[in-house]
Amino acid sequence: MTVIDLSLVPAEVVHIITAVIARMTLESLQRYRKLNAGKILPTVLVMEEAHTFIKRYHDDAENQNSAAICCQVFEKIAREGRKFGLGLVLSSQRPSELSPTVLSQCNSYLLHRISNDRDQELVHKLVPDNLRGLLRDLPSLPSRNAILLGWASELPVLVQMNSLPKDQRPKSDDPDFWAVWSGEGLEGSEHGQKIERSVDWQEIATDWQQTGAGEANQTPLVEAEDADTAAEDDDIPF
């Protein structure tokens, strides 16, 4: 398993980087099948915050930005990836912002609590009419609970996620503003003793500058591409 953390990549380039990684993955599997007598290498791309990279866009060829190009790459993977062994797992808090093309290719859904009206409306369109009654509980589902439906389950079921050990949980807890501002209740405080949390902005700025300098000094590696293996009707500009 390979984890690529793009959380600190500037917004101006993150879509291009993501699109290139996804496109290279697809084309690598295409070449693998070509060189191995039609065999496939099952691979899965897992996209966290998928609405950032696979966001619906206006089909205007004259004014396409990097976000639209990134979305087109994943639409291509959703349509053609299966025959090359490439699957997608999308995680998003805003399903209504995802590309309809990609959503239409999804065959299983794990639905956690959804309270936004637009998101609920979209989810209702994704499931058959006879199952929509199960979605009435979506706005009130407890944490770690979800409804599983689609090819992954013969019947829709309510499932509960395993509780992770504290050191393996994602760093996504809500910030305790009052504890930080007042210095009370912070980790390490004893008997109500106040702790002042200091910030070294110079250290942060130095780390930021070193990261930028390191990226600027890297020499790009460009390899020739065999045009014979390109997919038909491919209009993505890289």
Residue 79 has pLDDT above 70, yes or no: yes
Percentage of the chain with pLDDT > 70? 82
pLDDT of 150 > 60? The answer is yes
pTM of the model: 0.72
Q: Is 193 helix (H, G, I), strand (E, B) or coil?
A: coil
| Segment 17-48, tens digit of pLDDT | 999 999 999 999 999 999 999 999 999 999 99
Q: How far apart are CA 188 and CA 48, in angstroms?
A: 32
Mean pLDDT of 172-178: 76
Q: What is the domain partition of the chain in residue ranges?
A: 11-168
Whether residue 50 contacts residue 18, with contact meaning beta carbons closer than 8 Å, is answered with no
pLDDT attached to residue 222? 43
| pLDDT of 57 higher than 70 | yes
Read off the pLDDT of each residue in 138-166 and give the average, rounded to a whole number: 87
Identify the CATH number of the domain defined by range 11-168.
3.40.50.300
231 falls in which pLDDT band (50, 70, 90)?
Answer: very low
Q: What are phi and psi of 172, to 5 degrees?
A: -130, 20
Supply the DSSP symbol for 121.
H
Distance CA 67, CA 89 (A): 19
What is the structure's pLDDT at 43?
95
